[in-house]
Amino acid sequence: MKINEKGLQLIKDAEGLRLRAYDDGFGVLTIGYGYTKGVFEGMTITQEEAEELLIEDIRYFERRVTEVVKVPITSNQFSALVSFTFNLGETSLRLSTLLNKLNNGDYLRAADEFLRWNKVDGVAVEGLTRRREAERKLFLTEDETSKSDRERFEEIMNQKVIPYQQFPELVEELLREIENNNIN
């Protein structure tokens, strides 16, 4: 599975774009959309390079999410988890109650766990709070995968049950239709 456009935009909005290396506030030199590998003081990149580095990072975190999630998830749920892992790292996801609840099939409580990851040294940070709220919202938002699965389920559940007594009549009717239309 790959991150969708909503997830990609969530990461871009949360990380912001910086074309010159900067200290992220925790002593880590960062550039582009939160890229940290091999960044040095005074380093500059183009927007195109920033996009390439972002995709490189995202592909890595997509694989990490895929490795640890053991239940079916939608594209939006996957994308929210990739954003979370991009920001906090694979160990945070792997050891989280969020992942534990998700893998136990408790999707709603798993979504609520996003909101717990908004603190630095025990103090809530506004930017992290916004990001976690956005990830939770994306996680809970239906997308095409969830709609089609749900629609298929509803179609099956809404099918009329044929009473046993009518079954022979329906078989005869079907056989006549096949015979009249030369259906093989």
For residue 168, what pLDDT is reported? 75
Residue 175, Ramachandran bin (φ over 0: left; ψ between -120 and 50: alpha; else beta) = alpha
Distance CA 108, CA 115 (A): 12
For residue 148, what pLDDT is reported? 57
CATH number corresponding to 5-157: 1.10.530.40
CA 113 to chain centre: 14
Other Cβ atoms closer than 10 A to 35? 21
For residue 169, what pLDDT is reported? 73
For residue 113, what pLDDT is reported? 98
For residue 151, what pLDDT is reported? 61
Residues of the chain falling short of pLDDT 50: 184
- Answer whether 10's CB lies under 8 Å from 83's CB: yes
Helix (H, G, I), strand (E, B) or coil at 119: strand
Residues forming a β-bridge with 30? 22
For residue 180, what pLDDT is reported? 76
Enumerate the domain spans of the chain: 5-157
For residue 176, what pLDDT is reported? 79
For residue 172, what pLDDT is reported? 78
Helix (H, G, I), strand (E, B) or coil at 137: helix
The answer for residues whose C-beta is within 8 angstroms of residue 21's C-beta and 6 or more apart is 29, 30, 31, 39, 40, 41, 42, 43, 44
What's this model's pTM, rounded to 2 decimal places? 0.77
- Catalytically active residues, by annotation: 15
Task: Supply the DSSP string of 60-117, one letter for each residue.
Answer: HHHHHHHHH--S---HHHHHHHHHHHHHH-HHHHHT-HHHHHHHTT-HHHHHHHGGG-
- Answer whether 61's CB lies under 8 Å from 85's CB: yes
